[in-house]
């Protein structure tokens, strides 16, 4: 637990749930009859609802982007570095909304929820979701909260894809899109890594075709392997070298298959921890959502056409050592926007930590992020909140 909650934290936050009865037609041609979206908000919505910022989470993220759920929490929300009073997304100026995506295992309707038709958990019967589906569901949440137009939609990685999709699907509802460490679609290599992860889960004897809840078990080994391979792709070669090198646990070779190198120990530990709280069906669903994402597909595979009608201004950022979503991929987005004569700024941040950089402290990254959000605050009249006694 934090000894004292830091002054630049949003403090203790309470997740909320919005229930929707209106059926949601999905890209897979199935329909969710009703669903819950769990979300958190930070800051205060201003009178004309012009200071609202939507945060979209990535593969293993949740609605808990900032602050603490209780004083006993060891760690704050996943993007606490960037969200809070005086932080790049300044909660003294903006009203921040972070929903948990459908299909997740953190509270919004997903594979672990009960299927109303059977009374049992959905498991593998839960429909596969796409980024477009998520955006549609988030738009309903925006309606519910009285937000007609977001000052900004912000996300990294899979979250950046949602920000991009938002600007395409709801051009008049997004003033700015911040697309960080993302890509306009996955490469064959990316899909390949996701497939290895899925095969690890699907072939785990504990998977039971996705209905492991009924067997009171989980495909733990599969999930561990999936996370291990994923984790390697989030780090850079250099970061792994710095962190582990070829260091051995015991200083000498054991000539066996137990943990010998530090990197093995680290990956097993990360996988093990992850398998304790993450759901395997959600992992499968999230990787498929990544694989399916390709907004150009609806426009003759032409990203320039896909972005022709957008109205948002964009901030696109990539990290030099990110090989999962390399700077080249971000430049594809930027160049398609340039061809359409849209407002866009692009920065390539020198950072050693690979794809994970978007979640980590980096002076230049945070300064730029702050500068861009400051500009939005200026435009939208998201003035600093009055301080002191009212």
Note the residues at the interface with another protein (CB under 8 A). Answer: 315, 331, 334-335, 338-339, 341, 343-348, 364, 367-368, 371-372, 374-375, 378-379
Q: What is the DSSP letter of 76?
A: -
Q: For another protein, give the closer residue by CB, 151 or 235.
A: 151
CA 38 to chain centre: 15
Residue whose tokens read 């996300």? 155
| Bridge partners of residue 40, in order along the sequence | 98
Q: How far is the CB of 344 from another protein (least distance, A)?
A: 6
Q: Is 326 a catalytic residue?
A: no
Q: For another protein, give the closer residue by CB, 259 or 368.
A: 368
List the catalytic residue out of 176, 322, 356, 357.
Answer: 322
List the catalytic residue out of 108, 157, 236, 330.
Answer: 157
State whether residue 37 is helix, strand or coil.
strand
Length of the chain, please? 390
Q: What is the DSSP letter of 154?
A: E
Q: For another protein, give the closer residue by CB, 231 or 331.
A: 331
Q: How far is the CB of 165 from another protein (least distance, A)?
A: 22
State whether residue 54 is helix, strand or coil.
strand
Q: For another protein, give the closer residue by CB, 231 or 375.
A: 375
Residue whose tokens read 């390539």? 348
CA 218 to chain centre: 24
Burial class of residue 248 (count of CB atoms within 10 Å of its CB; 0-12, 13-18, 19+): middle
Q: How far is the CB of 183 from another protein (least distance, A)?
A: 16
In this structure, are residues 165 and 27 in contact, taking their beta carbons and an 8 Å threshold? Answer: no
Q: How far is the CB of 82 from another protein (least distance, A)?
A: 16
Q: Is 355 a catalytic residue?
A: yes
List the catalytic residue out of 57, 64, 176, 355.
Answer: 355
Biggest alpha carbon distance in the chain? 69
Q: How far is the CB of 354 from another protein (least distance, A)?
A: 19
Q: What is the DSSP letter of 386?
A: P
Q: For another protein, give the closer residue by CB, 286 or 317.
A: 317
Cα 190–Cα 192–Cα 197 angle in degrees, nearest 5: 100
In this structure, are residues 65 and 55 in contact, taking their beta carbons and an 8 Å threshold? Answer: yes
Q: How far is the CB of 176 from another protein (least distance, A)?
A: 11
Q: Is 361 a catalytic residue?
A: no
Q: For another protein, give the closer residue by CB, 38 or 344.
A: 344
| Bridge partners of residue 344, in order along the sequence | 314
Active site residues: 157, 322, 355
């Amino acid at each position: 637990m934090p000894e004292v909650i830091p002054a630049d934290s949003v403090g203790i936050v309470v997740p909320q749930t919005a229930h929707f009865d209106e059926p949601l037609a999905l890209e897979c041609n199935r329909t969710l009859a009703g669903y819950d979206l769990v979300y958190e908000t930070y800051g205060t919505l201003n009178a004309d609802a012009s200071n609202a910022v939507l945060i979209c989470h990535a593969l293993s993220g949740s609605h808990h982007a900032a602050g603490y759920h209780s004083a006993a929490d060891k760690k704050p929300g996943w993007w606490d570095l960037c969200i809070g009073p005086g932080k790049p997304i300044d909660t003294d100026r903006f009203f921040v909304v972070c929903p948990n995506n459908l299909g997740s295992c953190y509270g919004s309707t997903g594979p672990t929820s009960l299927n109303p038709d059977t009374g049992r958990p959905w498991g593998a019967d839960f429909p596969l979701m796409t980024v477009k589906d998520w955006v549609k569901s988030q738009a309903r949440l925006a309606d519910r909260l009285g937000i007609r137009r977001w000052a900004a939609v912000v996300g990294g990685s899979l979250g950046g894809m949602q920000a991009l999709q938002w600007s395409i699907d709801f051009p008049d509802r997004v003033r700015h899109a911040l697309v960080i460490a993302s890509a306009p679609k996955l490469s064959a290599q990316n899909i390949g890594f996701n497939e290895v992860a899925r095969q690890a889960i699907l072939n785990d004897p504990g998977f039971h075709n996705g209905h492991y809840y009924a067997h009171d078990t989980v495909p733990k080994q599969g999930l561990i392997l999936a996370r291990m391979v994923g984790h390697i792709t989030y780090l850079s070669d250099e970061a792994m070298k710095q962190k582990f090198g070829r260091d051995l646990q015991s200083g000498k070779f054991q000539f066996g298959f137990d943990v010998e190198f530090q990197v093995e120990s680290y990956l097993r530990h990360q996988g093990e921890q992850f398998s304790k709280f993450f759901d395997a069906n959600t992992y499968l669903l999230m990787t498929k959502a990544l694989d399916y994402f390709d907004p150009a597909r609806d426009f003759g595979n032409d990203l320039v056409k896909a972005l022709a009608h957008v109205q948002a201004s964009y901030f696109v950022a990539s990290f030099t050592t990110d090989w999962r979503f390399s700077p080249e991929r971000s430049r594809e987005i930027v160049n398609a926007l340039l061809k359409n004569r849209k407002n866009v700024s692009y920065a390539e941040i020198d950072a050693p930590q690979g794809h994970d950089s978007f979640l980590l402290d980096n002076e230049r990254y945070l300064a730029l992020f702050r500068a861009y959000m400051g500009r939005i605050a200026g435009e939208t009249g998201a003035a600093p909140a009055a301080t002191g006694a009212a």
